[in-house]
Amino acid sequence: MGNRVRIKDIATKVGVSTALVSYVLNGKEKEKRVGNELVKKIREAAIELNYQPNQIARSLRNGSTKTIGLIVADIAIPFFGQLARVIEDEAAKSGYTLILGSSDEDANKQNSLINTLSHRQVDGLIIVPADGTCNQIANLQKRGMPIVLMDRYFPELNVSHVCLNNYQASYEAVGHLIKKGFQQIGMIAYQSGMIHMRERIGGYRKAMETANLSEYIKVIEIPYHFTRIQTEKTIEQFLDDNKEIEALLFATNSLTTAGLNFINKKGIKVPDQMGIVGYDGNEAFDFFYAPITIVEQPLAEIGTKSVNVLTDLISDPTKIIKYDLSHFLNIRNSSS
């Protein structure tokens, strides 16, 4: 492999100073009043010699790596995979490269990812925080790292976030089931202390109480790290213990998938024997014989705003920006 082409090599070829080449390659030709003809010659020489800028050196000079870190719960979950794509595309528009990691809802893994990304000198972080990581976020904030919490946040911390109004989303979803004639409505959620899950459960409870159906409130909280088989068995036990349940609200995409798999195996007819509403969705829900009613989150808006808020914070770390976005209840056959 040949030696790396340097600015000095371009300067020698064109017959100008290294400083002049540096101005042009760093986009300062107008500021330094470099003539158009000379600018053209320098850029053509850079292309001809296959000049590749030293990004590390440039980062040290500018104090920016033009990279941002994204930590999600699990990139394999369609919701987070789609969000990551939106964020990657939006970041690119501002000249940023995305570095991605999955925490698997594990505090230790999230801490390891934060340390790795910090050592890579990312300019800021977008984080879907795992349960029990409030102190990690607080420490990042104290260090002056620009942070945006996405999907969920910590009420006790004054940190920028972009999230769904989960309480209202669940309230409306259960209200829809009640209007359709369902009364004994159960909810299947994940076992978590995080605000998004507490609000989803809270919205369900409030809707039932408002309709004077408090006596029918039934909630099961499943550990996040359960396998698919364990999750299905837990759902089976829940329904065996509460045979009177007429409809279910699933708190996440993955729980909806596990629940539908079990319901299908048992031959339970949707919506005749069981009404269903889930969060988010995937293509499989569309092809189910009774397409699933879902609480749709505004993915494009969440991803775009998260990047835009982060770039604002990178420019001015003293800002605190918070968005609580609205959902869309996509009503289909499973709840009608």
Backbone angles phi, psi at 147, to 5 degrees: -135, 140
| pLDDT (average), residues 131-157 | 96
**Secondary structure E strands in the chain:** 67-72, 97-102, 124-127, 147-150, 161-164, 185-190, 218-222, 247-250, 275-279, 293-296, 322-325, 328-330
| CATH class of domain segment(s) 7-53 | mainly alpha
Q: How far is CA 242 from CA 176, 187, 188, 246, 259, in A?
A: 21, 12, 13, 10, 15
| pLDDT (average), residues 242-250 | 97
Same fold, 65-163+300-318 and 166-298+330-335: yes
CA angle 295, 298, 301 (to 5 degrees): 170
Whether the Cβ atoms of residue 204 and residue 186 lie closer than 8 Å to each other:
no
pLDDT band at 61 (very low <50, low <70, confident <90, very high): low
At 72, the amino acid letter reads V
- The 10s digit of each residue's pLDDT in 294-304 is 999 999 999 99
CA distance 161 to 163: 6
Q: What is the pLDDT of residue 1?
A: 40
| CATH code reported for the domain at 166-298+330-335 | 3.40.50.2300
CA angle 197, 150, 327 (to 5 degrees): 65
CA distance 41 to 206: 70
CATH superfamily label, 65-163+300-318: Response regulator (3.40.50.2300)
CA distance 23 to 163: 42
- The 10s digit of each residue's pLDDT in 164-194 is 999 999 999 999 999 999 999 999 999 999 9
Token output for 99: 């570095």
Token output for 144: 């002056």
Which residue ranges make up each domain of the chain?
Answer: 7-53, 65-163+300-318, 166-298+330-335
Q: Inform me whether the pLDDT recorded for 35 exceeds 70.
A: yes
